[in-house]
Amino acid sequence: MTTHYTKKIAPRRSTVYDSYWLFAAERFKIFERRLSDPLGPWTKNKVISDHRFTNVFRASDRVSQYLINIQYQGDQIADVFFKTLLFKLFNKIETYQYLLKETNELSYRAFDFSTYDNLLTRKLLEGKTIYSAAYIIPSAGSAFGYKFKHSNHLALLNKMMDDRAYEKIQQAKSLQDVYKILLTYPSLGTFLAFQFAIDLNYSDIINFSENDFVVAGPGAKNGITKCFTSLGDYNFEDVIRLMVDDQQRECERLGLDTPNLWDRPLQLIDCQNLFCETDKYLRVTNPEHNQSGRTRIKQKFRKSTLPITLFFPPKWNLNEKIDLSCQKKTNAVIFS
């Protein structure tokens, strides 16, 4: 008996496919240059220099760096989970610092819904922004019924703590299982559940490879659609895996240095994010590919005044590989 196998049809690259790797290589070089030269200029690419693009490696971006630092302060698992979700529901360093300053202690033991709610309401009524513009978090109002978005998110966090979600997540067998647990909660759709799973995976609560599981977000899907004219027999997540597998070969083909974070290659989450950033980049460089009609990048680049020392999850074994002389000279300040 003869068995016939059907060869999987590969995605078909578009004319702007190479922009993905060209952008990745240049954006990573900017990250490297800034470690030794905090003043710049760091690139001749005007699109990148004028607009805000996240770092190539998600864990090295300013917001992720701040989160990782607060995850390793000797807290118990419940508090690590609490701080991680409290931070990520707003995804804004200034909001977390404001709550820390006003309450003196951010912990589940000291958490009081009314206190946090009143503090954030006051900030909102003062006309201050308490959420990051990086991505929109649904309000969860239909589940909890509060007037303000932040009140519903505090109620969501309270429910997760009451459910002891951190224990369920600690017992998860895979990153996908963590994602599925988070997905059961109001307002945490596929994109946010995956992003939060990655954030929790930075901590000591769980320890899974970032190459175990990926979910393509809306921005990544837009980027993939621009870089490929057809996906063939692949889905969006398959394409992201393809980029991880081909990173060395593709950069060598284009004569580029492959982005490498102290011997750590691009992971699924990084290639997912890169599609999102490439989508933004191509809005300006190749507007003819903008099927959505979006032809500009909303956020302009601005230097932040908040210094952060590079620190990665110790389980990755990266911290000891960082060039100590460079770190001492520049304080390894990241501006993103």
Going from N- to C-terminal start, the domains of the chain cover 13-62+214-330, 73-202
In this prediction, residue 326 carries a pLDDT of 52
Structure confidence at residue 299 as a pLDDT band (50, 70, 90): low
Question: At residue 315, does pLDDT exceed 60?
Answer: yes
Q: Do 79 and 111 contact (CB within 8 A), yes or no? A: no
Name which of 197-206, 291-300, 307-316 the model is least confident about. 291-300
In this prediction, residue 336 carries a pLDDT of 44
Which own/partner contact pairs does 65-68 have at CB distance under 8 Å and 24+ positions apart? 65/308, 65/310, 65/311, 65/334, 66/93, 66/96, 66/308, 67/199, 67/202, 68/202, 68/311, 68/312, 68/313
The string of DSSP letters for 291-322 reads TT---S-SPBP---S--------GGG--GGGS
Question: At residue 30, does pLDDT exceed 50?
Answer: yes
Residues linked to residue 140 through DSSP beta bridges, in sequence order: none
The model's pTM is: 0.91
Rounded mean pLDDT of 52-59?
95
Question: At residue 323, does pLDDT exceed 80?
Answer: no
Angle, helices 190-202 vs 175-183, to 10°: value is 130
Share of the chain above pLDDT 90, in %: 75
In whole angstroms, give the CA distance from residue 163 to residue 264: 36
In this prediction, residue 52 carries a pLDDT of 86
Q: Would you state the torsion angle of the CA atoms of residues 130, 131, 132, 133, taken in this order, to the nearest 10 degrees?
A: -120
What is the tens place of the pLDDT at every residue in 147-189?
999 999 999 999 999 999 999 999 999 999 999 999 999 999 9
**In Å, how far are 33, 38, 45, 321 from 41, measured between CA atoms?**
9, 9, 10, 26
Supply 221's token pair: 């899907």
Question: Please, what is the average pLDDT of the chain?
Answer: 90
Name which of 74-78, 95-99, 296-300 the model is least confident about. 296-300
Name which of 12-26, 29-43, 175-189 the model is least confident about. 29-43
In this prediction, residue 325 carries a pLDDT of 39
Q: Do 169 and 178 contact (CB within 8 A), yes or no? A: yes
